[in-house]
């Protein structure tokens, strides 16, 4: 995600629907296609909403589960020497769309966002948020035909057109893969170093996801699906033993 499009701090006092419009326009100005821009903008708009709700005083916001998960992720990153930029990169596209807010319903912060603002959002924005709610972590690979890139989900074999401006490279990568219409938009991308096989990477994603599920369960929290757990699980596994 481009720096300008992922920076919600400068939009803190902007209504989330306007944050969506500004971010989508900025991403398209940078050369991204409309589909990718919509997904980037949806992440930012939901993040703006969550920050405002979590900081609201004198009003029950119901985001305690999300705040707890975010604190856990932040502490795991700090123990591994990472900071705010990595938190935004890895978890803004994940936690608001992953963490269930109570024990009985399958409601995430992104669902609350839609309940509040759906009537004020463009249809593409609503579709992008719903795609982010469905999205899960996987191993993917980019292939090229001229300037057109295709992103293949290596866990399913599904290959769809990818974002404009995608960086060339043939190695597999781990990401939160958003299927939006007839396109794949990878977020929270982590490039793979070395010569790990696809099978090894898929097993690592599975293992980390189960770790996240179990750690959250111990704290009384749930993921919308176990396959959404890689980002948090990988950070927990990376924490030095002494920490």
**Greater pLDDT, 147 or 50:** 50
Token digits for 59?
């009003």
Q: Which domain holds residue 63?
A: 3-133
The pLDDT-based confidence of 169 (bands split at 50, 70, 90) is confident
State how beta strands 183-191 and 148-153 pair.
unpaired
The answer on pLDDT for 212 being more than 60 is yes
- Does the residue 151 lie in any domain? no
The pLDDT-based confidence of 4 (bands split at 50, 70, 90) is very low
Domain count along the chain: 1
The answer on pLDDT for 16 being more than 50 is yes
- Does the residue 173 lie in any domain? no
Average per-residue pLDDT for the chain:
91
pTM of the predicted model as reported, rounded to 2 decimal places: 0.92
68-102 residue pLDDT tens: 999 999 999 988 787 888 999 999 999 999 999 99
Phi, psi (degrees; rounded to nearest 5) at 130:
-65, -35
């Amino acid at each position: 995600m481009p720096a300008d499009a992922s920076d919600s701090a400068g939009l803190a006092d902007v209504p989330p629907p306007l944050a969506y419009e500004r971010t989508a326009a900025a991403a398209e100005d940078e050369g991204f296609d409309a589909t990718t821009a919509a997904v980037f903008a949806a992440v930012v708009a939901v993040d703006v909403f969550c920050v405002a709700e979590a900081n609201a005083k004198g009003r029950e916001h119901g985001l305690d589960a999300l705040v707890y998960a975010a604190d856990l992720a932040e502490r795991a990153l700090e123990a591994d020497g990472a900071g705010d930029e990595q938190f935004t990169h890895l978890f803004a596209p994940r936690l608001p769309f992953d963490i269930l807010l109570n024990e009985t319903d399958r409601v995430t912060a992104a669902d609350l966002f839609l309940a509040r603002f759906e009537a004020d959002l463009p249809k593409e924005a609503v579709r992008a948020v719903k795609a982010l709610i469905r999205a899960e972590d996987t191993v993917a690979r980019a292939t090229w035909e001229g300037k057109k890139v295709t992103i293949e989900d290596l866990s399913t074999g599904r290959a769809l057109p990818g974002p404009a401006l995608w960086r060339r490279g043939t190695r597999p990568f781990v990401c939160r893969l958003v299927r939006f219409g007839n396109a794949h938009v990878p977020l929270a991308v982590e490039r793979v170093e070395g010569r790990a096989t696809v099978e090894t990477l898929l097993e690592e994603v599975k293992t980390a996801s189960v770790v996240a599920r179990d750690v959250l369960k111990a704290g009384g929290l749930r993921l919308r699906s176990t396959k959404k757990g890689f980002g948090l699980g990988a950070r927990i596994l990376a924490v030095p033993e002494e920490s």
